[in-house]
Structure 1
Amino acid sequence: MINKDFSRRNFIRLASLGMATVPLACKSTKPMATQQRDRNLRFLFQGDSITDGNRGRNADPNHILGHGYCFSVASKIGATYPDRNLQFFNKGISGNTIIDLENRWQQDTLEIKPDVLSLLIGINDVNGFINKKKEANNLTNFEQQYRKLLTSCLNQNKEMLFVLGLPFCVPTGSRKNEFDQWHTPTIERAEVVKSIAKDFNAVLIDYPQVFAQAQKKAPLEYWIWDGIHPTVFGHELMAREWMKQVSNRLSFLKPLVYSI
């Protein structure tokens, strides 16, 4: 049962506790073939509305990556290394759950043949759980389907690098008065992602911790306007953390991290 006495003041403390449980193996300690590669890489960003970023649905290169964290990541990397033939794809779709991803995985992931797959999913699964939707997944099924998707990628490319983001929710906007309902199931799914990241030797991006630390500099509303969707400033924080963590596996990104 969710503790009804939870307050906004506990947010940083709880996020910090969550960070402490991240397995050391997730810290990108194992060598991979991708660690030394810096050319001809295909980066694919998958997920829900946070990744979608209102991206274009045609070939217009001005809008194809949306206006979220993946746009910021791609713009920085692509502008810095125009000679390395790096390609970036955004296939996030607003409202998607893990089931939705599974239904379009072949076309929107496997057929793209990414070398680096960045995935952020789970908050819409929380929404389905809270609102008792017929198609909602329980925690066990969420984990099974998540693992199934990553396994299918390894069957295609055993050297694929996974970048897994933890789902997050904060007490702002429309989520402020409902945070007691949202907090625990979000944390539960984040713990599942941590376990999967360890087993798949993935880069783990702890977005909850990023925003907990950001709260020390500005109110949460400055970073996430409705409890789920980041502002432009929040997306930039996500992009910076993404590059920081991924640079531990793709060392050519290190200069970008140092310049931030």
Structure 2
Amino acid sequence: MNTRLLSIALALAVPAAPLAAQAGQTPASPVPETAMLDDPCAGRPADLYDPAADWAWLCRYHAANLALAGQSIDTVFLGDSITEGWGYADPGMFAPGTVNRGISGQTSPQLVLRFMADVVGLHPRVVHLMIGTNDIAGNTGATSPQAFKDNIRAMADLAAANGIMMVLGSVPPSDRMTWQPALRPARQIAELNAWLKAFAAERGLVYADYYGALAGAGGELPDRYGPDGVHPNAAGYAVMRPVALAAVAEAAARAAGPGWQR
């Protein structure tokens, strides 16, 4: 198995037994024979997040993805609340053919699990991936820069294996997080962005430098671009939009070039 396929296999691996059994505890009840369903999202409201039943929130866009079957998709934007919020602040950015698949609060391992359903299954030419804020915040538990990098590598491998060109968006600037008041994330964000830029160059991906367009002198998100210090407002997204459009156009041109296989 080559290293790219191995990274995909490792990233997508999930425990074979319930967590209680792994810890040496006796599960409260055996897993029913119907636990593996043809459509586990049937009857589940798309706006209801149940971390115990659907940790990656695969059901969030399940019905929306089915509704796009057979349609031509140019670009999928995959990410967290900064991507999701873009659709509300600047809906014109997501004209037909451009799909928003952001989910507030998510981290890179959740995106790895959603990547097949919310990106590959839509057969886009380009995927725009922007994630990292909530990894730094530890939203889904303690993690490490190496785990983040491994998840980005896994998604890049999945995109390449399916003929999808990737835009890697930088982690937007922030020097504070209201839900983690003790955290000072500016240094970590700058370090992850340096790695993302180098990784994009190494893999022939396109890097979208939102950090450079938005950051203040101390690595903060200025109030004029996002009063909470993390999430862009309309003015922030207005700065981001030309960066995104240029990056997506470059990625589409590369995907149409010689030697690129779809």
TM-score (norm 2): 0.61
SS at match of 1:67: helix
Residue number among 75, 81, 89 corresponding to 1:43 in the alignment: 75
Residue number among 140, 143, 157 corresponding to 1:151 in the alignment: 157
SS at match of 1:164: strand
Residue number among 197, 201, 205 corresponding to 2:200 in the alignment: 197
| Count of aligned residue pairs for this structure pair | 180
CA-to-aligned-CA distance 1:95-139 (integer Å, 9 cap, x gap): 1101111122221121111111001000000101xxxx7733211
Gaps of 5+ in 1: 1-39, 54-64, 79-86, 252-260
SS at match of 1:222: coil
CA-to-aligned-CA distance 1:62-117 (integer Å, 9 cap, x gap): xxx82145x34334xx6xxxxxxxx1211110011011111222211211111110
Off by >6 Å, runs of 4+ in structure 1: none
Q: Which has the larger radius of gyration?
A: 2
Asked whether the 8 Å contact 2:159–2:165 carries over to 1, the reply is no
In 1, distance between residues paired with 2:148 and 2:246? Answer: 28
Aligned to 1:167: 171
Q: Aligned-pair distance for 1:152?
A: 1.1
SS at match of 2:204: coil
Q: Aligned-pair distance for 1:169?
A: 2.7
Q: Aligned-pair distance for 1:168?
A: 2.2
Asked whether the 8 Å contact 1:173–1:221 carries over to 2, the reply is no
Residue number among 238, 242, 245 corresponding to 2:244 in the alignment: 242
Q: Aligned-pair distance for 1:223?
A: 0.6
TM-score (norm 1): 0.61
Gaps of 5+ in 2: 1-71, 254-262
Aligned to 2:186: 183
In 2, distance between residues paired with 1:182 and 1:173? Answer: 8
Instruction: Call closer, same or farther: CA 1:96–1:173 in 2, change over 3 Å.
Output: closer
In 2, distance between residues paired with 1:249 and 1:124? Answer: 26
Aligned to 1:228: 230
Aligned to 1:127: 137
Aligned to 2:23: none
CA-to-aligned-CA distance 1:158-217 (integer Å, 9 cap, x gap): xx2211111023347849x757x21111122212211221122111111111013799xx
Letter in 2 for 1:189: L
SS at match of 1:247: helix
Report sequence identity in percent.
26
